[in-house]
Structure 1
Amino acid sequence: MNEVHTQELLLDDSGEETLETQETITNDAPVRQEAQKTFGDYGVIPEIAQSLADAGILHPFPIQSMTLGVALGGHDIIGQAKTGTGKTLGFGIPTLQRAIPQDHADYAKLPAPGAPQALIVVPTRELALQVSKDLQTASKRTNLRTEVIYGGRAYEPQIEALQRGVDVIVGTPGRLIDLHRQRHLNLKNVRIVVLDEADEMLDLGFLPDVETLLGAVPAIRQTMLFSATMPGPVVAMARRYMSRPTHIRASEPDDDSITKKDIRQVIYRAHHLDKDEVVARILQAEGRGRTIIFTKTKRTAAKLAEELVDRGFAAAALHGDLGQGAREQALRAFRNNKVDVLVATDVAARGIDVEDVTHVINFQCPEDEKAYLHRVGRTGRAGNKGTAVTFVDWEDVPRWTLINKALGLDVPDPVETYSSSAHLFADLDIPEGTKGRLPRHKRVLEGVEGEALEDLGGPEKKPRRR
């Protein structure tokens, strides 16, 4: 029997429309009818559909297919889907399509010709870069001008881009507000606003800045809010600034878990003096591809990356103490396969959208279930399989108990594990006899030095006074 996904538009008690997937089982239904639809079937214009096809993107994921029809109709949306399910194109395609002028007369009607017509606000620099990259892929065959604006870079190139004219802006709240207050960023033309990863903006204290930006754009606009989780303050903000939003929740019919079913989750109670050795052996597992290791502190990230490089692995660190140029160098090296291990703090939990990350390792227990979700969500993306390994120190067992209960993982007491434990090798397909150093004949990647360190002219380049 085949599964056919149908969509139903509901109206909840608060007057908020809700769009959900439901499951229907039939004997003669065509195989995965919904999955065979193309972007053009949902009203996406040929230029954008062909741009996506050029990149090998032919069929929308569930969150995209559910969002496109509603968003292209100009309705406000609250989109909720698990991390790694394709939210970016779900809001990116409608944003691009609505920013394309019907004719040259459209430009003359704008209050400020050349100013952006779409504003996408994200919490981190890495996510801004990733969203901008996806938008550029989808708009390759159009004449739309997209600009990414975030801190850590020099102001001058961003100001020059705004003066030349921009159609779509992707940026972080702080730099957007700075440029708006300096009168370089004119928001009078904005007719579509997207808030991506709104729960992360709440955690980072950006909600007041977001409300400032929403107050600066025209009152008549389309607003879309996307997030993996929906805490109360985010929902309250949505209802304050949105008009009868449609709440879209996308999930697989047979997957009622909070985490994605494509991710195998392994939790160990490990000793901190043995973790480096355990990680080095996990990195030699069969089929292991790109890997992200999350640490709690910047110092731990730098130290672990240095240790792994010494053991022969192509590793790079990504944390807040690095200048923006070094952060982008590490990300480029990771995406371009110059390094295959990225050791990062939670600054990278959002915004790294690399489809073939096979393993995520939590070097220390995450702070809460939200941090856990966004960390492990870096693997198992775009329909791929992934493995998430979490180390829980003895003193972190109470915290893990709360995370386990909140997510329903059914691992209340992680098994005690050492680098010599037989179950470690069996669980993660590590060849017998593997040691904690990568054999020399397997050291084939260039390392982070294979990518040039770009001088971005940001604050870190200014000489310090004594």
Structure 2
Amino acid sequence: MTRPISIDELVKNDTPRFIKKRDRVSKPEAKLVVKPKKIESVVQSDQLTPEPTIITQNKKPIKTQFNFDWDQSDDTSRGYTPLLELDDFDDTLPPPSVHWSAKSLQEMSESDWRDLKDEFNIITKGTKIHPIRSWGESVLDKSIVNILETSKFADPTPVQRASIPIATHQQDIIGIAETGSGKTLAYVLPLLHYILSIEENYLKYEHIQEFNLNKPLGVILAPTRELANQITTELTRFCSALNLTSVSIIGGHSYEETISAIKDGVHIIVATPGRLVDSLERKIINLSKCYYVIFDEADRMIDMGFEKPLNTIYENLPEINEADRQTFKLDKRITMMFTATFSDSINTMTKKYLIKPVQLVIGQIGEKVDNINQEFEFIQTKYMDTKFEKLVQVINKHARRNKVYSIIVFANYIKTVEELSDSLAEKGYKNITIHGSKSQQARERSIDEFRNGRVRILVATDVAARGIDIANVSLVVNYQMTKRVDEYIHRIGRTGRAGTKGNSYTFIEDGDEPLFPDLRRFLKKNLPAFLVNRNQTIKD
């Protein structure tokens, strides 16, 4: 039997050893076995075939060749035509993209419109819209555009960019937008445009006939007197320039005042639901020509128990007939509804009052207070007697940091508001109050004092949580926490308005614990200690 050749003996030979087929060989030796004839044929058939080398331990290379047993007819590259010739290759960079604001309307692509919507956090469902880029590019009546361009309204806000093209195309809207976002003009401007588009002879002659004097052409409903007054103030600025009339119908004003205000006719009514129903029942107001209805803060109306009055108002609205279709240039009644939350009640209202509405959201729900620094302090029951002193400390600290400041202190009950006001006055802090038990004149006077900076501290119930648009409120204090997170959002939304920075400070008690899960979901991150570890907070 032949002894196998060792590795040491094998590598001493410079020439590969060829072994007969019947001989036994080791695996290392077998790897070095090649057939000379095959090598020659490969070299002759393809001179481009590389000659691989094997480096041995003595560093002398052993040359060998690989044998590829194929026919050249199997070459799959034959007949290949390249898609791009080298001479045709253009290595220049593509031109830089042009921002949508630098393009004409004709140059705008669908991608540009998507970029615009993304830039302003505009989300729509139910229609495909192109937001307006400027007042001049909107379809608003030219007289309205002239007022806008010659006033402080330099550019539309996101909610205005989106809602105006929807409403001017006579589509219903249900929308949500952040506080201080310009929502009022978002529905006022389309309403004014609608009225100016009505047949001229009707506006000039028929509308001022005695039987039409108490018939408004549009109505805006608000949950509180304060919000109604704020809307009326904004609306009057345009109505005066456009030779139109708007009237506010709210509690605290006598019916005689309303009758006097509409004696020469009225185009738009701004009202609270209960007071408007009273005026309808007394025949002071007639809605038979009202084809345009707007709900502002519809969720708040439901919370305040206005669902029944709203149903009554809708029962008094007309169905459009052929004659009015021609005169008012409408195919259906137009309804715009703005709300902070899409509750079951709001969904019911939407199905009942709106026709194929477009859903509009500006930004993400919960982002509306990202510009507000929110602080919390948990007070155990046994330390409640120190709560007022802590409030004073918060006010002092804020006043030291801000030479000019305005503070709203919220409480849940009228009695607490009055007690806080008296206690702050004893400490030398001049303040005013606002709550539901005060007369309308007193409430308006308090807001005016606070808005003009004559008084720096306003102590209020939730009547001031919505509808009061006061610039530069630097701090909101929740002396008593709300029972619902959406009301908390509206409270702190009095500061940090229209993109400015704001601050809030909230006192939390043991009794507020049912609100913790919703508050945790709202805050999402940077949770205060009492939410991160409730038990540890109590022990501390």
Partner residue, 1:80: 176
Partner residue, 2:222: 122
Match of 1:293 among 398, 409, 422: 409
3-state secondary structure, aligned to 2:262: helix
Match of 1:94 among 172, 190, 211: 190
3-state secondary structure, aligned to 1:139: helix
Partner residue, 1:5: 116
Q: 1:262 to 1:139 in 2, by over 3 A?
A: farther
CA distance in 1, matches of 2:149, 2:460: 33
Partner residue, 1:222: 334
CA distance in 1, matches of 2:216, 2:292: 10
Report the alpha carbon displacement of residue 239 of structure 1 after superposing the two structures with TM: 1.5
Q: 1:129 to 1:282 in 2, by over 3 A?
A: farther
CA distance in 1, matches of 2:128, 2:308: 27
Aligned residue type for 2:333: R
* Contact 1:275–1:363, Cα closer than 8 Å, also in 2: no
Q: Bigger CA drift: 398-407 or 81-90? A: 398-407
* Contact 1:149–1:170, Cα closer than 8 Å, also in 2: yes
Q: Bigger CA drift: 238-247 or 196-205? A: 238-247
Partner residue, 1:264: 373
Per-residue CA deviations over 1:412-455 (Å, capped at 9, x if unaligned) read 5349xxxxxxxxxxxxxxxxxxxxxxxxxxxxxxxxxxxxxxxx
Per-residue CA deviations over 1:20-58 (Å, capped at 9, x if unaligned) read 99xxxxxxxxxxxx8xx4323222333333434554122
Partner residue, 1:321: 437
1:348 maps to 2:448: no
CA distance in 1, matches of 2:153, 2:426: 39
* Contact 1:128–1:171, Cα closer than 8 Å, also in 2: yes
Partner residue, 1:163: 263
Q: 1:314 to 1:77 in 2, by over 3 A?
A: same
Partner residue, 2:395: 280
Partner residue, 1:248: 360
* Contact 2:129–2:166, Cα closer than 8 Å, also in 1: no
Report the alpha carbon displacement of residue 401 of structure 1 after superposing the two structures with TM: 4.3
Report the alpha carbon displacement of residue 407 of structure 1 after superposing the two structures with TM: 4.6
Match of 2:212 among 102, 107, 113: 113
1:312 maps to 2:421: no
- Two-structure CA RMSD over aligned residues (Å): 2.7
Aligned residue type for 1:360: V
Aligned residue type for 1:267: F
Partner residue, 1:378: 494
Rg (Cα) greater in structure: 2
Partner residue, 2:164: 68
Q: 1:41 to 1:290 in 2, by over 3 A?
A: farther
Match of 1:179 among 274, 279, 282: 279
Aligned residue type for 2:440: Q
CA distance in 2, matches of 1:212, 1:159: 21
Per-residue CA deviations over 1:143-189 (Å, capped at 9, x if unaligned) read 11011110122111112212321111000011100010111101011
CA distance in 1, matches of 2:181, 2:188: 14
TM-score (norm 2): 0.68
Per-residue CA deviations over 1:238-285 (Å, capped at 9, x if unaligned) read 11111111111111xxx6734422112111224424333234324414
CA distance in 2, matches of 1:18, 1:101: 24
Q: 1:9 to 1:387 in 2, by over 3 A?
A: closer
Report the alpha carbon displacement of residue 370 of structure 1 after superposing the two structures with TM: 1.1
3-state secondary structure, aligned to 2:263: helix
Partner residue, 2:520: 404
Aligned residue type for 1:60: P
Partner residue, 2:239: 139
CA distance in 2, matches of 1:341, 1:20: 43
Gaps of 5+ in 2: 1-96, 101-114, 320-331, 532-540
3-state secondary structure, aligned to 2:401: coil
Report the alpha carbon displacement of residue 120 of structure 1 after superposing the two structures with TM: 0.4
CA distance in 2, matches of 1:280, 1:10: 42
3-state secondary structure, aligned to 2:116: strand
Per-residue CA deviations over 1:111-133 (Å, capped at 9, x if unaligned) read 95332101001111111011111
3-state secondary structure, aligned to 1:205: coil
Aligned residue type for 2:227: L
3-state secondary structure, aligned to 1:378: coil
Q: 1:9 to 1:309 in 2, by over 3 A?
A: closer
Aligned residue type for 2:335: T
Report the alpha carbon displacement of residue 93 of structure 1 after superposing the two structures with TM: 1.0
Partner residue, 2:56: none
1:200 maps to 2:300: yes
Matches for 1:4-83 after TM superposition, within 5 Å: 4-6=115-117, 16-17=126-127, 37-83=133-179
CA distance in 1, matches of 2:475, 2:130: 30
CA distance in 2, matches of 1:282, 1:317: 22
CA distance in 1, matches of 2:405, 2:129: 36
CA distance in 1, matches of 2:251, 2:483: 26
* Contact 2:399–2:405, Cα closer than 8 Å, also in 1: no
Partner residue, 1:464: none
Q: 1:366 to 1:75 in 2, by over 3 A?
A: same
Report the alpha carbon displacement of residue 109 of structure 1 after superposing the two structures with TM: 5.8
CA distance in 1, matches of 2:490, 2:168: 28
Aligned residue type for 1:216: N
* Contact 1:19–1:249, Cα closer than 8 Å, also in 2: no
Gaps of 5+ in 1: 22-33, 416-466
Aligned-residue sequence identity (percent) comes to: 32
Q: 1:136 to 1:40 in 2, by over 3 A?
A: farther
Partner residue, 2:329: none
Partner residue, 1:360: 476
Aligned residue type for 2:196: I
3-state secondary structure, aligned to 1:200: helix
Q: 1:285 to 1:244 in 2, by over 3 A?
A: farther
3-state secondary structure, aligned to 2:529: coil
Report the alpha carbon displacement of residue 221 of structure 1 after superposing the two structures with TM: 1.1
Report the alpha carbon displacement of residue 349 of structure 1 after superposing the two structures with TM: 0.7
CA distance in 1, matches of 2:422, 2:192: 42
Q: Which has the higher contact order (CA 8 A, sep 6+)?
A: 1
Q: 1:267 to 1:354 in 2, by over 3 A?
A: same
Matches for 1:436-447 after TM superposition, within 5 Å: none
* Contact 1:52–1:137, Cα closer than 8 Å, also in 2: no
1:331 maps to 2:430: no
The structure carrying a bigger helix percent of its residues is: 2
The structure carrying a bigger strand percent of its residues is: 1
CA distance in 2, matches of 1:230, 1:407: 19
CA distance in 1, matches of 2:360, 2:260: 38
CA distance in 1, matches of 2:202, 2:523: 49
